[in-house]
Amino acid sequence: MKRRKILVGNWKCHKSFDEAITLIAEIVANVPLELDRTVVLCPPFPYLAEAVRRTRESPVKIGAQNVWQEDSGAFTGEVSAPMLASLGVEYAIVGHSERRQFFLESDECLARKVARALAWNLTPIFCLGERWEDREAGQTLAVVQRQFQAVFALSAETTTSLVIAYEPVWAIGTGRNATPEQAEEVHAILRGLAMERWGSAVGEAIRILYGGSVKASNIDTLMAMPNLDGALIGGASLSAAEFLRIVHFQG
């Protein structure tokens, strides 16, 4: 099955407002309407409304870096799915390893976030991945399977818009990325788990991204793997030239 690739730039906690607008303009100017892949930018929350406005006439989509697990309430500082949807945001990253590590987000919490995103027609990019000590102990499969099971309560119909992002924690921001073969092995496992849970049609259709020190120098070999359907890009997405080279990967 031909799955449309997705390239997602996660800016994390970087860029001033003016820098963000400049970066958006440079990217938008170099992403043609007929591009055969989806480009998503995830700037910090304060810039989302303007980012949506600046990309409205382009193929570039805007995503949030996080989303709250309830629609509304007394949750100071949180941003909910209906708020994001009302701005025109189309994607939301859920369960990034930094959220799991620094904000102690549990599998149960993340399952609720995915459900709220889907309820408001946001495409959740659900992140999972093992630590270095997990890989060294031969626990990669056990860890990603447990994390993936957090969203197994979803129906097959609901998962049509779910995106998975495999991000080995040991490769995020370290300069040490998984080899294409290592990434492909885990992606194939995740696809197999999706098939077991939701059936072969969903398993074949679900898109699984790779994240972890993705850059211009390794994107072509990563995207050559049959089960890698795109990338979640951190540091390299902060440079227009670097990110655009990734967007226009060869193959």
Mark 201-225 as b/e (b = at least 16 C-beta within 10 Å).
Answer: ebbebbbbbbbbbbbbebbebbbeb
- Give CA–CA dist 152/137, Å, rounded: 25
Active site residues: 96, 167
Question: How does DSSP classify residue 126?
Answer: E
Residue 9 parent element (H or E): strand 6-10
> Regarding beta strands 61-64 and 91-94, do their DSSP bridges make them parallel or antiparallel, or are they unpaired?
parallel
The CA-atom distances, in angstroms, between 188 and each of 16, 66, 108, 191 are: 39, 26, 25, 5
Angle of helix 140-148 versus helix 180-198 axis, rounded to 10? 40
- Give CA–CA dist 97/63, Å, rounded: 17
3-state secondary structure 20-40: HHHHHHHHHCCCCCCCCCEEE
